[in-house]
């Protein structure tokens, strides 16, 4: 495991009765990068070596649990959606959406006293990051959208059979939960990749932090309840890098291409062999791409010269 040094987890009220759990790394004087994770995932699913590599590029990194995951506020009073509701996109009146999760994220920036950040989102986290960049443009220096989409029904949709994998009944017990999650990661991850030797440890840590069996369904409903966000995504003015795996079965590669088309001057980086995960062999390439993007924007903002 990495010897990454954390400033420690903290809990902050971000508005509307929501508390988010976050963790920061690096020098607060460095350019801030906010990492936003995906459906059913916790902030610890951002690999420590990826976070450490970003701090070694002189970036201040914050990762956090979205609502309904980890140590952030959960919503047990919101009934998880049925397959019929997911198909019709008609949900309970108290179902939250990505727009609410984006407001949570802006509230976290306020609580952390971060005027603006470079926001990096993976999967659902990319959708949240896009929404923040569209609705709070002054708070976003740059955007990196990874394996995400614009919410259109016409692109970035899952391969047949993926929804049952995500929405199957969670088994009882720690060991059974871990095996279930490993099955999910295998189903959506990069094909042909050896199982990450630390994956089981991360899944076990996630179980010990939070194993709410209904939260993933509520988050999925939040994605669908937000509808097609293409019009909002088109208003994004922050410099944008879009990264997508060519073998993604959960969010088809067309989702990444549609995101890049919608954002003026966005750069699209398609990753051969990458599925809906962050495979270890691609960590150096991914962290370099993110760091180069962020630091180029910082140089443009400050007028500083590139390092020799």
Structure token pair of residue 298: 């910082």
User: Rounded distance, CA 194 to CA 188, Å?
Assistant: 14
Q: Residue 3: pLDDT above 70?
A: no
Q: Residue 168: pLDDT above 70?
A: no
| Strand pairing report for 6-15 and 18-25 | antiparallel
Q: Residue 132: pLDDT above 90?
A: yes
Entry pTM: 0.95
Q: Residue 155: pLDDT above 50?
A: yes
Give the per-residue pLDDT at 306.
56
Report how many helices (DSSP H) and strands (DSSP E) the chain contains, helices first. 11, 8
Give the per-residue pLDDT at 100.
98
DSSP E strand stretches across the chain:
6-15, 18-25, 32-36, 60-64, 117-122, 140-146, 240-245, 267-271
The domains of the chain are located at 6-302
Domain 6-302 has CATH 3.40.50.1820: yes
Q: Residue 124: pLDDT above 60?
A: yes
Q: Residue 172: pLDDT above 80?
A: yes
What average pLDDT does the chain have?
A: 94
Residue 83's pLDDT band, with cuts at 50, 70 and 90, is: confident
Instruction: Count Cβ atoms below 10 Å from residue 154 Cβ, excluding itself.
Output: 12
Nearest CA to 68 out of 221, 203, 204, 200 is that of 221
Give the per-residue pLDDT at 73.
98
List Cβ neighbours of 226 (8 Å cut-off, separation of 6 or more).
97, 98, 99, 127, 131, 151
Strand partners, 29: none
Give the per-residue pLDDT at 305.
61
Helices 215-225/124-135 angle, 10° precision: 40
Contact criterion met (CB below 8 Å) for 114 and 32 = yes
pLDDT, tens digit, 9 for 90 and up, residues 207-232:
999 989 899 999 999 999 999 999 99
């Amino acid at each position: 495991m990495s010897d990454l040094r954390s400033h420690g987890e903290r809990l902050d009220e971000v508005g509307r009765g929501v508390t988010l759990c976050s963790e920061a790394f690096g020098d607060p004087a460095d350019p801030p990068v906010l990492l936003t994770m995906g459906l059913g995932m916790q902030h610890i699913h951002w690999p420590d070596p990826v976070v450490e590599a970003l701090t070694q590029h002189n970036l201040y990194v914050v990762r956090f649990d979205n609502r309904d995951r980890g140590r952030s506020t959960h919503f047990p009073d919101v009934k998880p959606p049925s397959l019929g509701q997911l198909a019709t996109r008609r949900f309970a009146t108290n179902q939250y959406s990505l727009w609410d999760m984006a407001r949570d994220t802006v509230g976290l920036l306020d609580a952390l006293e971060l005027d603006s950040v470079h926001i990096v989102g993976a999967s659902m986290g990319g959708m949240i990051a896009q929404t923040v960049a569209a609705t709070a443009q002054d708070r976003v220096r740059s955007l990196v959208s990874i394996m995400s989409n614009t919410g259109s029904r016409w692109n970035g949709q899952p391969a047949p059979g993926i929804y049952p994998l995500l929405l199957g009944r969670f088994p009882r017990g720690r060991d059974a939960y871990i095996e279930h999650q490993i099955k999910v990661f295998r189903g959506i991850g990069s094909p042909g990749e050896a199982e990450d030797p630390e994956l089981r440890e991360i899944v076990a840590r996630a179980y010990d932090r939070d194993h709410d069996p209904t939260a993933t369904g509520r988050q999925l409903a939040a994605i669908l309840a937000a509808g097609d966000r293409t019009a909002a995504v088109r208003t994004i003015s922050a410099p944008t890098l879009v990264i997508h795996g060519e073998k993604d079965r959960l969010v088809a590669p067309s989702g990444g291409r549609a995101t890049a088309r919608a954002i003026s001057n966005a750069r699209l980086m398609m990753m051969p062999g990458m599925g809906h995960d962050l495979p270890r062999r691609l960590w150096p390439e991914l962290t370099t791409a993110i760091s180069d993007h962020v630091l180029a924007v910082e140089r443009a903002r400050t007028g500083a010269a590139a390092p020799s």
